[in-house]
Amino acid sequence: MREIVFDTETTGLEPLKGDRLVEIGAVELFNHLPTGRDFHIYINPERSMPVEAFRVHGLSDEFLADKPVFSAVVDDFIAFIEGATLIAHNASFDIGFINAEFARLGKPPIPPDRVIDTLVLARRKHPMGPNSLDALCSRYGIDTSKRTVHGGLIDSVLLADVYLELIGGRQPDLILMPDAAAEVSDDGAPILVAPTQQRPEPRPFRVTAEEQAAHQAFIGKMGDSALWKAYLPEEAGEA
């Protein structure tokens, strides 16, 4: 199962009133395991950056001036998320902006049934809250020391860890092979290869001498053609 955990940064809160995307960050999971593949792009919003939004993510007009516009990166983004379930925190916000950008370019929207909202999962699991990304990272002991401002990619990485905790603390794909070697297939999916395990010495039978003697006597009554005789110790078979 392929999942994409993603986050966006924007110029504001109203995609239908002219606010635009300025950053998309996304990380890939396969069967709830990070594959190491990610998608990250800064976007020229073709409008000025409000002070309030700049204070959240620190992306200035000057920084974004030479970045590509959304139409130049949309196909790369669509290719990265193709066929995957999408996971976001307060997903209606992020999907609302993505779909508004898609609509400007005549692209079909992302349907709701393709999206998992981690805020909804968190509110079900922790109804008393708080359930912001920061609060959930604190609750689950996830290190946020590298996060000085909101950012699409770093928030996606943190959210992936939060998501795995919300669905069971990585238990859905618990691996009972601690020495398994991880490989990656051509499509980025992890392959687990268990090492060959063999006892250094054969395990001894936990039977008493009396039990062995009774077993041999029982087999002796079966006649010389009994198949069991082939598995008796050599000295017992000659007795």
Active-site residue numbers? Answer: 150
Within 10 angstroms of residue 14's Cβ, the number of other Cβ atoms is 12
CA–CA dist 196, 183 (Å, integer) = 16
Region for 126 from its dihedrals, namely left if φ exceeds 0, alpha if ψ lies in -120 to 50, beta otherwise: beta
Q: For residue 151, which of 40, 57, 22 has the smallest C-alpha distance? A: 57
Q: Is 35 helix (H, G, I), strand (E, B) or coil?
A: strand
Q: Are 23 and 8 in contact (CB under 8 A)?
A: yes
Residue with tokens 């809160």: 13
Q: For residue 134, which of 148, 124, 115 has the smallest C-alpha distance? A: 148
Eight-state DSSP code of residue 65: T
CA–CA dist 130, 117 (Å, integer) = 16
Residue with tokens 């939004």: 53
Q: For residue 192, which of 3, 13, 30 has the smallest C-alpha distance? A: 30
**Token pair listed for 120:** 């909804």
Q: Are 49 and 61 in contact (CB under 8 A)?
A: yes
